Structure 1
Amino acid sequence: MSGDSTGNASSYSGGGFNVNEVYAEGQIPLLQNAFLAKDLTIDGQGRWSDYNTFGSTKNWKVSINWAPVRDIRFRATLGTSYRQPNVYELYGGQSLGYPSAYDPCSAVSSYGAQAAAVQARCAGEGINTATFVPQNTGQVPTISGGNAKLQPESGRTYTIGTVVTPRWVPGLSASVTYWHYSLNNTISTLGTQYILDQCYTGADTSNCGAIAARSSSQQLTSVNAFYQNLGGIRTSGIDFDLDYHVRVTAHDSLNLSNNMQQLVSYLQQNVPNGQWYNYTGRLFYSGGSGQPRVSDYAQATWQHDDFSFTYMMRYIGGMVWNNGVTDLTAKTAGQYKTPGIFTHDITLGYRLNRWNLEAGVSNLFDKKPPFVMDAATNTNIYQYGSLIVGRYAFLQAGVSF
């Protein structure tokens, strides 16, 4: 790609890599139709990969499925993972943007106990914080793009859960699964505000190298926020799934499903060997999505011959605003959190031979995205971007060949 754009300029994107892989999997049925072992099976998978850029790696996964009786099944998995940086993360062209952020020298008092450190840093740059006025209020020029020095991510996963399919309630399936993921060398970008705060408070002065020299009028000229290997992620949660299909009449059926996720923990390390931050139930108001403690998706479909009507509900739990290091509070900010929100969609469908026709309304009650402190959109587009367009209707048709 040449990088030509009608917006902010972007440099050329281009590059690639080669990989050779060998994959194998197998299944061992240990017991079938035995006492307290309607089914006992072990699965194994393995993959060897060789990259011309990163060398070779081995990854594996093993799982066990045990059904003591027909109505209940227990399952557990343990495995490793490996993700090479994609072409854009490695070779994406650099571009200039203006994300929501503020110059620390323009808001020294907001740093509380760290205000003295910020004051000293600004004074060392020749800035009188009492009279300083930033040119880009609420936004800081930021250069983003690929990084050819990136290394792959690696991780380990384990899950354990159970599925219940009771014979006395035909069509019902319920499951509970606990999962835990750990990732190393995570590939991502640091937020502009995080980089500035870490530098000016002295919490991590290695971030100061990402901040370009100020202009002759002491204005921030740019911050580099390229892709990099940041550190690690440790996250765990519980998924609750419910599916129920019932035949009401010879022409009518009802399908119900619900998926709820309870986030137990989300810890993130933003620099190698650095501090672990707890982002459970937090939303980054300066850019990036959040980690709600509870999220839910429910769907109900009524089918009458070739007609169908579907209702869908989504819930995103409330979150406290966080700048990457600390939470806002009622004392440090007027509004400091976002409430949980519900959205609703409906779809009417009709199947005519090979044709599938659908009409519906998304965001039925015209739910507005919640306010999040931001200099550009007054919400968090990474979390609530789909709500910005408001309620809208759609028609679509598909055909099966």
Structure 2
Amino acid sequence: MVVTGSRVVRDTYSSVSPLKILGTEAPRDVGDFDAAQITGFTKISDPCAVPNGAFDALNGSYQPQDDDRDPRILEICEREGRDPEAVGVNAAGSNTDQLSSIEVANQGSLDLDPETSRSFTTGIAVADNFGAFDMSFNVNYYSIIVEDSIAELTAQYAIDECYLDDDDVRSVFCDQIRYSSGERALISQAFPTFLNQDKETVRGLDFNATFGYEFPMGGDVLDLGLNLRANHLIERSTLFVSEDGEDDFDEETGEFGFPRWTGRAIGTVGYGDFMFTWQTRWIGKTSQAASGVDEFSDVFGRGPDGEPTGFNSDTCLGNGSGTYDDVSGVFTPDGVVVGDGVFCRGVGHADDYFVHTISMRYEFSDFITLRAGVTNLFDEAPPLIDTNEVFGVSNISIGNGYDLDGREFFGSISIRF
């Protein structure tokens, strides 16, 4: 990768000493990337393979009523010429498998366009003191736009982007996958390559505030401090343009991994050789993509009006068992399973999440420092989600900043020589 051009422009304006107005602009060009082909093997999960829970090994048959895959996945499998009711099943019809060890050929490309980017930041900073009280505050706006950004893909990423896509546009990643002609017809090869993403955009606001206050007490000084930080994500989007000229635009702001708001507050109390710290970390509300939200349904796959929705809930009985007449639009219960009037859908959202950590530091001498504390003080569990809606393990979203370890105690001794 070669940087072919870069320029940074900075401005600072201050009409009065406590106030500053800041600005930065930095365009950047990156040349073509070419890498030798690297071939290896990896294990992947095939979304089109029949799940174990939807396969009757005794009769060797697919059980559609037990298939918890999103109907969109089944539609995409059929679009790609694959049978989601048969992929993964062996020739004897005795078992099914969703995992496949495939050949992966990661390779460079001579067809890449140069990557260009432009970043812009501007902000206002205020700082002043009033006797023993100090304060500072700044807010910064940032905008980073990368055009023709060069991305290196993994095999599973290309597979997921092809089959788990929420919109109706065929993903460009589908062309990088090959399938076995054997009995299970699983994915057998993937050719993820360096790819130009037409445009990536990140915009947001950073807020920072610091307060300090000192006053004498009991022959020493009590030092109080508070630092507040917050980030508001305005946009995090990616644009792909297919060979047919169709836009595949993905706006991820507010989704898992990209909350609109995050923050951190750190409060300190110092007195003599002691320092107490309380830190609170905040992750704002998040949700899956709006296009991926299921309709409210019962276990029979019908909504409140009795009409089939294409989604099955796991526990809610809704209107109970019965039949729906497509012509009249009337649902008639049969009394075999009595409904409970409750309709459900997979949980694909999380509320605001707060984790608190406390610690105490003691300067035993000029050479020895003692520290002890508790992380996740209130043992706050991560939010529960449906892993059919959001990537996770055991109904917990992973890779998004949530604390997975629970309350922990720590301590340390630092000795300086």
TM-score, reference length from structure 1: 0.69
Map of 2:182 onto structure 1:
216
Amino acid corresponding to residue 281 of structure 1 in structure 2 = G
Whole-Å Cα distance in 1 between the matches of residues 37 and 189 of structure 2? 19
Q: Does 1:119 align with 2:78?
A: yes
Once residues 171 and 283 of structure 2 are traced to their aligned partners in structure 1, the CA distance between those partners, rounded to angstroms, is 36
The answer on whether the counterparts of 1:280 and 1:291 sit within 8 Å (CA) in structure 2 is yes
Alpha-carbon deviations, 1:162-204, whole Å to 9, x = none? Answer: 0111344741001111111112314253353222245x99733
> Partner residue of 2:400?
383
Counterpart amino acid of 1:276?
Answer: F
- Mark the CA change 1:178 to 1:377 in structure 2 (over 3 Å): closer, same or farther: same
1:223 shift after superposition: 6.2
Maintained 8 Å contact 2:2/2:31: no
Q: Distance in 1 between matches of 2:49 and 2:416?
A: 58
1:282 maps to what in 2?
255
Instruction: State the SS of the aligned residue for 2:395.
Output: coil
1:103 aligns with 2:67: no
Residue in 1 aligned with 2:151?
187
Q: Mark the CA change 1:368 to 1:161 in structure 2 (over 3 Å): closer, same or farther.
A: same
SS at match of 1:69: coil
In structure 2, relative to structure 1, the CA distance for the partners of 1:382 and 1:253 (3 Å cut) is same
Structure 1's 60 and 389: CA in aligned 2 closer, same or farther, altered over 3 A? Answer: same
Matched, 1:305 2:275: no
Further displaced range: 174-183 or 211-220: 211-220
Amino acid at match of 1:103: C
Deviates more, 1:226-235 or 1:252-261: 226-235
Equivalent-residue separation in structure 2 for 1:398 and 1:318 (angstroms) = 39
CA offset at residue 388 of structure 1?
A: 1.7
Q: Which amino acid aligns with 1:220?
A: L
Secondary structure of the equivalent of 1:297? strand
Distance 2:291 2:367 in 1: 55
Bigger Rg, which one = 2
Per-residue CA deviations over 1:281-319 (Å, capped at 9, x if unaligned) read 012xxxxxx210011111001111121111110111111
Q: Cα distance 1:375–1:302, how it changes in 2: closer, same or farther (>3 A)?
A: closer
Q: Secondary structure at the match of 1:176?
A: strand
- Change in Cα spacing, 1:307 to 1:278, as seen in structure 2 (3 Å) is same
Match of 1:203 in 2: 169
Given that 1:316 and 1:340 are in contact with CA atoms closer than 8 Å, whether structure 2 keeps it comes out as yes
Task: Name the amino acid aligned to 1:79.
Answer: A
Residue 397 of structure 1 is matched in structure 2 by 413
* Cα contact 1:104–1:197 (8 A) shared by 2: no
- Corresponding residue for 1:243? 210
Structure 1 residue 144 displacement after superposition: 7.1
Q: Secondary structure at the match of 2:178?
A: coil
CA deviation vs aligned residue, 1:310-343 (integer Å, no higher than 9, x gap) = 1110111111124xx9432454642121222111
1:265 aligned residue (235, 244, 251): 235
Aligned to 1:41: none
Q: Is the 8 A contact 2:49 2:88 kept in 1?
A: no
Pairing 1:75-114 to 2, within 5 Å after superposition: 75-81=22-28, 94=40, 96-98=42-44, 102-103=47-48, 110-111=70-71
Q: Any conservation in 1 of the 2:50–2:87 contact (CA below 8 Å)?
A: yes
Once the two structures are superposed, residues 98-121 of structure 1 have per-residue CA deviations (whole angstroms, 9 ceiling, x without a partner) of 46x732887798446x96665354
- Tell me, in whole angstroms, the C-alpha distance in 2 between the residues paired with 1:251 and 1:203: 65
Deviation sequence 1:255-275 (CA, Å, 0-9, x none): 100101111111112567852
SS of 1:182's equivalent in the other structure is strand
- Give the structure 1 partner of residue 337 of structure 2: none
Specify every segment of 5 or more residues in structure 2 that has no aligned partner in the other structure, as ranges: 52-66, 90-95, 297-310, 312-344
> Cα offset for 1:157?
0.8
CA RMSD, Structure 1 to Structure 2 (Å): 3.8
Is the Cα–Cα contact under 8 Å of residues 368 and 416 in structure 2 kept in the other structure? yes
Preserved contact between residue 260 and residue 294 of structure 1 (Cα < 8 Å): yes
Aligned with residue 371 of structure 1, among 355, 359, 384: 384
Could you tell me how far 1:381 is from its partner in structure 2?
Answer: 2.0
Task: Indicate which of 328, 331, 334 corresponds to 2:293.
Answer: 328
The answer to whether the 8 Å contact 2:121/2:141 transfers is yes
Aligned to 2:371: 358
Count residues in correspondence: 330
2:140 alignment partner, one of 166, 177, 197: 177
Q: CA 1:297–1:117 in structure 2 vs 1: closer, same or farther (change >3 Å)?
A: closer
Q: Report the equivalent of 1:163.
A: 125
- d(CA) in 2 for partners of 1:180 and 1:344? 31
Q: Look up the SS of the partner of 1:207 in the other structure.
A: helix
The question of whether the paired residues in 2 share the 8 Å contact of 1:317 and 1:339 is answered with yes
Quick one: which amino acid aligns to residue 184 of structure 2?
Q
CA pair 79-192 structure 1, distance change in 2 beyond 3 A: same
Shift of 1:132: 6.0
Q: Which moved more, 1:329-338 or 1:310-319?
A: 329-338
Q: 2:351: which partner in 1?
A: 339
Deviation, structure 1 residue 398? 2.9
SS at match of 1:58: strand
For 1:50, the equivalent position in structure 2 comes to none
Partner of 2:325: none
